[in-house]
Amino acid sequence: MRHLIDPLDFTKEETEELLVLSEDIRRNPEKYQDKCAHKKIATLFYEPSTRTRLSFESAMINLGGSVIGFSSANSSSASKGESVADTIRVISAFADITAIRHPKEGAPMRASMFSSIPVINAGDGGHQHPTQTLADLATIRRRKGRLNNLVIGLCGDLKFGRTVHSLIKSISRWDGIKFVLISPTELKVPDYIINEVLKPNNIEFEETTDLEDALGKLDILYMTRVQKERFFNEEDYVRLKDSYILTEKKMELAKEDMAVLHPLPRVNEIALAVDKDPRAAYFEQVQNGMYVREALILKLLNLA
């Protein structure tokens, strides 16, 4: 039985297959509408979510299946002190597959060790978020027609932003990827990303604090929110939260065919006026996320 805990749990080829499958699902929804009849997904969300949880649930419903779950730790037995290991053994008795979001790094991985159903990591603390990466890859592929030979700017909270860590890990497997890592010094990507992912794979990257300076060379700009909930004190958050705000004026510095991605939720880091710029891809990214999750559910349930 397979799980998706880390973006590298699926090879590059398997990841490409999922993206291709997600496009077929988008074009031919009726072909897939009963594939998961009588199957259940359990969405176990110990942390807030809008897109990820509802897109998993929509994905399962689109496939003819149904949904159980909880949307906060408070409404589950976690509030009584139950461990993730016990909860997953219980859930394994009810559902066919599960998506887990948890504030603790490694919680979905631990769940997978005790689970008799496939476990999907729907975000673990400041660590990884592999299904957001599938949505990101699908969006880049649709916008640019390729996943190789791209200059990708990642901007904002690169330290705590789990979507950034997963995207770097995954897309580094394609040829000709270059990263421009744009962040305040205090929010630089963790050392393990540099020392275990970028350097050993000889991936070109540069670190800068200057968004304007970087903009002109990017094929993709991936904006992120400063991750308030992972800060130790409010003061630091307030000081750093508006480090980067993408405006119409700054967009004038960017290539005509650059694509702006954002995993959402947006707080202040993209001005609303940018939404009507044809380069803004963040709302279609949400929709792409639902199709890739359909593909993933089919794959993990051996129905694809």
Q: Please give the positions annotated as active site.
A: 51-52, 80, 101, 129
The verdict on 183 binding ligand NCD (CB under 6 A) reads no
Closest approach of ligand NCD to the CB of residue 129, in Å? 5
- Residues 79-118 contacting ligand NCD, CB under 6 A: none
**Interacting residue with ligand NCD among 69, 263, 290, 301 (CB under 6 A):** 263
Binding window for ligand NCD (CB under 6 A); candidates: 208-216, 249-257, 258-266, 276-284:
258-266
| Interface with ligand NCD, residue 129, by CB under 6 A | yes
The full 3-state SS of the chain, as one line of letters, equals: CCCECCHHHCCHHHHHHHHHHHHHHHHCHHHHCCCCCCCEEEEEECCCCCHHHHHHHHHHHHCCCEEEEECCHHHCHHHHCCCHHHHHHHHHCCCCEEEEEECCCCHHHHHHHHCCCCEEEEEECCCECHHHHHHHHHHHHHHHCCCCCEEEEEECCCCCCHHHHHHHHHHCCCCCEEEEEECCHHHCCCHHHHHHHHCCCCCEEEEECCHHHHHCCCCEEEECCCCHHHCCCHHHHHHHCCCCCECHHHHCCCCCCCEEECCCCCCCCECHHHHHCCCECHHHHHHHHHHHHHHHHHHHCCCC
- Footprint of ligand NCD on 151-170 (CB under 6 A): 162-163
Residue 15 or 224: the one with the smaller Cβ distance to ligand NCD is 224
Q: Does the protein bind ligand NCD through residue 225 (CB under 6 A)?
A: yes
Q: Whole-number minimum distance, CB 300 to ligand NCD, in Å?
A: 19
Q: Which residues does 215 contact at the CB level (< 8 Å), separation at least 6?
A: 153, 221, 250, 253, 254, 258
Near ligand NCD by CB under 6 A: residue from 4, 5, 264, 296? 264
- 123 part of the interface to ligand NCD, by CB under 6 A: yes
User: Could you tell me which stretch among 36-44, 167-175, 199-207, 261-269 binds ligand NCD (CB under 6 A)?
Assistant: 261-269
**Closer Cβ to ligand NCD, 65 or 123, answer by number:** 123
- Report in angstroms how near the CB of residue 130 gets to ligand NCD at its nearest: 11
Find tokens 């476990």 and name the residue. 119
**Shortest distance, position 252 Cβ to ligand NCD, whole Å:** 26
Cβ closest to ligand NCD, residue 205 vs residue 282: 282
**Residues 42-71: x where in contact with ligand NCD by CB under 6 A, - otherwise, as a string:** ---------xx-------------------
Amino acid at 65: G
Residues found near ligand NCD in the complex (CB under 6 A): 51-52, 123, 129, 132, 162-163, 225, 263-265
